[in-house]
Amino acid sequence: MKKLSKKFFSQDPAKVAKNLLGCILVRKLNKKVISGKIVETEAYYGLKDPASRAYKGKTKVSENMWESAGTILIYMVHNQWLFNIVTGKKGKPQAVLIRAVEPISGIKFMKRKRKIPRLCSGEVKKLASGPGKFTCAFGIIKEKYHGLNITKTKDLLIIPRKENFKIASSKRIGVARDLSQNLRFYIKDNQFVSR
DNA sequence: AGGAAGATCTACT
DNA sequence: GTAGATCTTCCTA
């Protein structure tokens, strides 16, 4: 299987965020495969962006944003792990946040991770419909992936996929001081985006 | 020591 | 749909 290249991530974060929609995120563990389609993303501009962790300069949390494209940045907010991928050139802090995925395989695993004992069929859409829920469902934790490069990891990868859909955009969610432009992107009319 | 943070769940209007 | 309580790191004083 072909996965996304470093070149893919070396572009403007808003562009990467849009191109990431519809791609398949895969996590392999043991003999199980957990996968889902990316349906919602947000772009973050480091230095000019008050909502970015890099806004106030390098800290222990944000230092990975200065690494090269494809580096995985995970940090915790409100007891949730948020999963970011660094984009652009090395030394220029920018990133894309994965906000929601549509579960494809490993749904049992996700349910167990999310600790939803009796999940009605209609509630699969809530399994990974949010940045914290998605990392939880995929079992992604900071100790394992923080600082790695997603173009190199063998058990975590993103596969490109062509598909026809409309991309919608909006203001980012939960951001105290947002920029004037729309930096949240999602697949229009998809049931698995947050809210 | 105190507070903020890119969120989520639950319970309501 | 909105509102409030709650959670864990790490930054600032």
pLDDT in tens, A99-143: 999 999 999 999 989 876 555 555 789 999 999 999 999 999 998
For A161, the token pair is 């996929």
Judged by DSSP in three states, A17 sits in: helix
Q: Would the Cβ of A87 be found within 7 angstroms of any atom in strand B?
A: no
Tell me the CA–C1' distance in angstroms for A142 and C8.
13
Residue A107: per-residue pLDDT: 92
Global pTM reads 0.94
Which nucleotides of strand B lie within 7 A of protein CB? Answer: 5-9
A193, A67 in Cβ contact below 8 A? no
- Give the H/E segment covering residue A96: strand A94-105
Q: Cα A82–A84–A87 angle (5° rounding)?
A: 165
Q: In this predicted structure, what is the pLDDT of residue A195?
A: 80
Assess whether A130 (CB) lies less than 7 A from strand B: yes
CB A136 within 8 A of CB A113: yes
Residues 2-41 of A with CB under 7 A from strand B: none
Point out the nucleotide closest to A195 (alpha carbon to C1′). Answer: C1
Instruction: Tell me the CA–C1' distance in angstroms for A158 and C7.
Output: 30
**Residue A29, CB, less than 7 Å from strand C?**
no
